[in-house]
Amino acid sequence: MSQTKLARCFAEALGIQEQAVTDELAYQTIKEWDSVRHMALVAIIEQTFNVMLDTNDIIAMSSVGKAKAILAKYGIDCDAA
């Protein structure tokens, strides 16, 4: 996947391989992506991209693809990052 920075965030927060991070990877479809890790993921994404996400967006961030779309709203192009 080209959004390496974002993939690294997912891999680190969820404790999974970067190769496993695809746009289709969705919340609660793997045991590693539960509600506790979701908040850890948010923290790492915020740290990496220097943003503060709205709670609406945290709830809506239900897949890697959605995360990219949400970050785009904050002016972050994950494909370029």
Partner 1 sequence: MLLKEKVAIVTGASRGIGKAIATTFAKQGAQLVITGRSSAIHEVASELSTHGERVVAMQGDLREPAHRREVVMACRKTHGRLDILVNNAGVLIHGPLGMTLLESMRDAFETNVTAAMALTQYAIRLMSPARDPCVINLASFAGTRGQEGLAIYAASKAAVVGFTLSTAKELASQRIRVNAIAPGFIETDMTQALPEAIYRTMTERIRLGRIGVPQDVANCALFLASDLASYITGQVIGVDGGLLA
Binding site for partner 1 (CB under 8 A): 36, 39, 42-43, 46, 50, 52, 54-55
> Per the structure block, which two tokens stand in for 6?
């974002």
In the bound state with partner 1, the residue whose beta carbon lies nearer, of 19 and 35, is 35
- As a whole number of angstroms, the distance between CA 6 and CA 12 comes to 10
Identify which of residues 1 and 51 has a Cβ nearer to partner 1 in the complex. Answer: 51
- Report residue 24 as tokens: 């289709």
Nearest distance from C-beta of residue 20 to partner 1, angstroms: 24
Of 44, 53, 72, 37, the residue nearest 29 (C-alpha): 37
- Give me the least distance between CB of 2 and partner 1, in Å please: 26
